[in-house]
């Protein structure tokens, strides 16, 4: 049975039961095989026993029945090992076991506080162990019993937690950098520079000052040229027309005051 992975998820390690869990079922299965061989060899021929309400029940039949029953633990354990899932991914620890009654646990890596390995002498002989996972502030720990490669399983969980923390730290820095860049672009250098410089340049600087208020426009060339320059106080008013050629220049001087007026000579 395989684990259904989420988006951007991959399996780091998957462990199974150690051979230790199969020792006793295999021992029972071997006894069953010996019973089959004994029946096949005719060891129990002619022997019968009384079984409850049945009389004269053949011993060979009883041996065959017991031999079949002794196969059941091994078959059950093999099926349990095939259907169970003990896996570590880059996002979680997934534990599933059971044939008819399913026990399933999905543990996010961010909630795991501690991972330990516990081994008895018997387990060490078979390279087995129990992996104990402490989740959050729960007092009850989650124990994965009799798995092979217990230390590798534990180390993989710890490495996955570390990589997840590094990934979150990287995303945090990228987010802070993006916020800094947005602040730099929106309310920082670009807006401050664009709005400050452009507004200062447009409103109180070159454009307004030059075109409209105090520059080339209103108080500069245009107003100065129109009002106090070439226009009013320049060529028209105070220049050629008023105080220039017309009033105080050619017309007044020549025609009236100081021009061709005969009274002048």
Q: Mean pLDDT lowest for which of 23-37, 62-76, 195-209?
A: 195-209
pLDDT at 49: 74
In whole angstroms, what is the distance from residue 58 CA to residue 46 CA? 7
Tokens found for residue 255: 């025609």
In whole angstroms, what is the distance from residue 214 CA to residue 208 CA? 7
Question: Is-contact 13 155, C-beta < 8 A?
Answer: no
Instruction: Please list, in sequence order, all residues whose beta carbon lies within 8 angstroms of the beta carbon of residue 242, skipping any fewer than 6 positions away.
Output: 236, 248
Helix axes of 20-41 and 59-83: crossing angle, nearest 10 degrees: 150
Global pTM value: 0.62
Helix axes of 189-202 and 150-186: crossing angle, nearest 10 degrees: 0
| Span 37-55, average pLDDT | 79
Which bin fits 42, alpha (ψ -120 to 50), beta or left (φ > 0)?
left
DSSP H helical ranges for the chain? 20-41, 59-83, 121-125, 150-186, 189-202, 206-207, 221-226
Positive or negative: CA dihedral 25, 28, 30, 36: negative
Could you tell me whether strands 128-135 and 48-51 are parallel, antiparallel, or unpaired per DSSP bridges?
unpaired
What share of the chain in percent tops pLDDT 90?
45
In whole angstroms, what is the distance from residue 79 CA to residue 62 CA? 26
In whole angstroms, what is the distance from residue 22 CA to residue 25 CA? 5
| Residue 214 in this model has a pLDDT that exceeds 70 | no
Q: Where in the chain are the domains?
A: 98-186, 202-257
pLDDT digits (tens, 9 = 90+) for 152-169: 999 999 999 999 999 888
pLDDT at 151: 95
| Span 15-35, average pLDDT | 94
pLDDT digits (tens, 9 = 90+) for 49-90: 776 566 677 888 889 999 999 999 999 999 999 999 999 999
Selection from 69-78, 205-214, 234-243 with the highest mean pLDDT = 69-78
Cα 85–chain centre separation: 24
């Amino acid at each position: 049975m395989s684990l259904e992975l989420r988006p951007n998820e991959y399996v780091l390690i998957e462990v199974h039961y150690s051979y230790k869990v199969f020792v006793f079922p295999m021992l029972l299965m071997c006894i069953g095989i010996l019973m089959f061989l004994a029946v096949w060899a005719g060891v129990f021929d002619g022997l019968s026993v009384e079984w409850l309400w049945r009389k004269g029940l053949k011993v060979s039949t009883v041996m065959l029945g017991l031999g079949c029953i002794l196969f059941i633990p091994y078959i059950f354990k093999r099926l349990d090992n095939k259907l169970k899932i003990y896996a570590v991914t880059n996002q979680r620890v997934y534990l599933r076991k059971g044939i008819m009654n399913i026990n399933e646990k999905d543990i996010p890596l961010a909630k795991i506080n501690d991972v330990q390995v516990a081994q008895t002498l018997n387990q060490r002989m078979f390279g087995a162990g129990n992996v104990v996972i402490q989740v959050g502030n729960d007092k009850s720990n989650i124990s994965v019993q009799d798995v092979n490669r217990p230390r590798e399983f534990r180390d993989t969980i710890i490495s996955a937690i570390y990589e997840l923390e590094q990934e979150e730290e990287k995303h945090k820095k990228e987010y802070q950098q993006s916020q800094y860049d947005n602040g730099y672009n929106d309310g920082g250098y670009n807006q401050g520079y664009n709005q400050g410089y452009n507004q200062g340049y447009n409103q109180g600087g070159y454009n307004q000052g030059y075109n409209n208020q105090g520059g080339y426009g209103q108080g500069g060339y245009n107003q100065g040229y129109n009002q106090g320059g070439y226009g009013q106080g320049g060529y028209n008013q105070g220049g050629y027309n008023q105080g220039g050629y017309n009033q105080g220049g050619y017309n007044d001087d020549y025609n009236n005051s100081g021009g061709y007026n005969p009274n002048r000579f």
